[in-house]
Structure 1
Amino acid sequence: MTNTPNRSVERAFRIVDELSENGGGRASELAARLEMPVSTVHDYLQALVETGYVTAENKEYRTSTRFLEVGHRQRHRLEVVKAVRDELATVADETGEHVTLLIEEHDQAVILAVQEGPDAINLFAYPGARMPLHATAPGKAMLAHMTDGRVAELVDQGLVEVTSRTVTDPDVLLEQLETVRQRGYAVDEGERIAGMVCIAAPVLDKREQIQGAICVCGPESRLGETRREEIADVVQRAANVTQVNLDYV
């Protein structure tokens, strides 16, 4: 078989993903879901246990906290995390809502940090959570500052419908991205989470390259037009401070 090493790595991570998504499982269960021989799955699981990335108890396998260690280290190496400093806490205090810092990675928006204000709704958001760029305010804030070619590539992959409000028409999305560039922030109204409004501002570096986005989310009932404008001002200010900090990280 060609590309055997690549194939082995792919299989190992398929098993890891399956364990993570289902909270664990036995070798036979994993083999059935992945359509792989039980003996093969068992060998991979044993290797993952030996490296410390999977735990085993009573023949039940689960991903270990080693992944937290790896992710935590990488997150703190990113300049934008250092640059945001206390801005997320300030935004959470001023808005009272749910605040996140996201970056783009592998064509998705990825949460790096979360801060909850006193009135924040629990959205089960955590560092490492991924979501479609086109269906989120922070994703649109970042897309608006990517090259036309990059945006076209992402659109060609398909605009998946997450909720009934998700924008799936490429022309509508491109119009929205132009609006984002003009006013300096992006909005999504229940496009990823029904009933929630999210407002995000892009974080750029001194070369005007996109480094991430700061986002505030709250229920539609609390985020009317006037409040949205107030929150937009807050997130834009925080993004600007973060951009300045990037020059001195």
Structure 2
Amino acid sequence: MTDTSNRSVERGFAIVDELAANGPGRVSELAERLEMPVSTVHDYLQALVSTGYVTVEGKEYRTTARFLEVGHRHCHRLEIYQAVRDQLETVAEETGEHVTLLIEENDQAVILAVEEGPDAINLFAYPGARIPIHATAPGKAMLAHMDDERVDELLEEELVEITSRTVTDPDVLSEQLEEIRERGYAVDEGERIAGMVCVAAPVLDKDDRIRGAICVCGPQSRLDESRREEIADVVQRAANVTQVNLDYV
């Protein structure tokens, strides 16, 4: 692909990302926000409208539900999504809290599925949301089971501070990953969301490759030390069942 083609694709997705992040807009507004010529933005929007990924109402352009279709198809093709089956619902019922399934993609933790127990706090989490992999329990649970070379590469990147509790020191994080491997689960205490505690277990396949992580999050006031251990048992059991199911997907 030529440099011109690369730039065209990048511009098209920049417009999509802008609409997704900040909502509908007119051509001139989008051009200003993206610092692109109005004519360029207009041409890209017309192409996106013709494919069905963007629609226009009046003079405002917005993304369509076509992206949901793409996302759902992608999820249903993933073995771990099929293997987890009703495990997330079971974990949500047992813990009463907010439960997610995440995978690693392009060096980030990505939410694939969400279930909410009766006491769950709405965290505005949704499938497709991306999270810095170092700043959350499921991300660290996955990091702990990646190849050392891959982990070293990730730790060489700048570790962004999301809250005052986010671990940004590579040496400290490396020590935590060793503890996670020995313990079998990961915990983050307000590292991504202040006041929230998350407990996550890795999902491995029969070849010990990391495939994802199952995570439970709840308010710090409810998840004291003993409660965290109870939840760790629940997510580890769910991860084990998912691992077994992977052999039969």
**TM-score normalised by length of structure 1:** 0.99
Report the 3-state secondary structure (helix = DSSP H, G, I; strand = E; otherwise coil) of the residue aligned with 1:162: coil
Separation (CA, whole Å) in 2 of partners of 1:24 and 1:191: 32
- Distance (Å, rounded) in 1 between the aligned partners of 2:160 and 2:202: 23
Q: Compute the displacement of 1:27 (Å).
A: 1.0
For 1:49, the equivalent position in structure 2 comes to 49
Q: CA RMSD for the aligned pairs?
A: 0.6
Q: Which residue of 2 aligns with 1:87?
A: 87
Kindly provide the amino acid, as one letter, of the partner of residue 155 in structure 1.
L
1:19 maps to what in 2? 19
- How far residue 30 of structure 1 moved from its aligned partner, in angstroms, is 1.1
Question: Residue 37 of structure 1 aligns to which amino acid in structure 2?
Answer: P
* Runs of 4+ in structure 1 over 3 Å off: none
Q: Which residue of 2 aligns with 1:143?
A: 143
> Does 1:69 find its partner at 2:96?
no
Structure 1 stretches lacking a partner, 5+ long: none
AA partner of residue 208 (structure 1): D
1:17-57 Cα deviation digits (max 9, x unpaired): 00100012111111111111000000000000010000101
Q: Distance in 1 between matches of 2:156 and 2:32?
A: 33
2:152 is aligned to 152
Partner residue, 1:165: 165
The corresponding residue for 1:229 is 229
TM-score (norm 2): 0.99
Specify the SS of the correspondent of 1:8. Answer: helix
Distance 2:20 2:89 in 1: 30
Pairwise CA distance, 1:161: 0.2
1:96 aligns with 2:96: yes
Aligned residue pairs, count: 248
* Ranges in structure 2 where 5+ consecutive residues have no aligned partner: none
Q: Measure the CA separation in 2 of the matches of 1:248 and 1:40.
A: 49
The 5 Å alignment of 1:233-244 reads 233-244=233-244
**What is the rounded CA distance, in whole Å, between the counterparts of 2:193 and 2:72 in structure 1?**
26
Which residue does the alignment assign to 1:58?
58
- Give the aligned residue type for 1:65: A
Which aligned pairs between 1:103-122 and structure 2 lie closer than 5 A? 103-122=103-122
**Residue aligning to 2:195:** 195
Name the SS of the counterpart of 2:56 in structure 1: strand
